[in-house]
Amino acid sequence: MLASVLISAVSVILLCYWFRYSCLLLLRNRSEQASAQADERFSFSTVRDRLNTASDLDPLRLSLERDYRIVTYLLQHAAGSRAQSLEDRLLQLDYKLMQRWYALTQTAAPQQARRALSEMAAVVACLAQKMAPAQSEG
């Protein structure tokens, strides 16, 4: 009994580690491939610039949520787009987990909340970057 509980706990820990490592690796690889030019239609680059100086983080969070909703809608409903890849789904799940983490840490640990917003902005940037080639094809 104890062995099965221990094996299950270690498996869950390893799954969480794999998920975080995969998301961070995807974000790093896609950010290296990203062009230096930011898309003016979205505010994720502005959010990244203002994260260190802003005292109130909720307007930044709201901007990111608006961008996320728009980008995911466009990716899902783009004409001729293929099914979402596993990487996209992992990044979307990571965004949702970072939303929860932000909600938990915004008052108790503002620095952790800023990191969560930073990762959320990176996810939106990666998804928007993936949307750019789809726009030029159509």
Q: Dig out the tokens for 58 from the structure.
A: 């909720």
According to the model, what pLDDT value does residue 136 have? 46
pTM of structure: 0.82
Model pLDDT, residue 86 = 86
Domain ranges for the chain: 2-137
Count of H-run helices and E-run strands, the chain? 5, 0
| More confident position, 127 or 40 | 127
Q: pLDDT tens for residues 95-115? A: 999 999 999 999 899 999 999
Say if residue 36's pLDDT is above 90. Answer: no
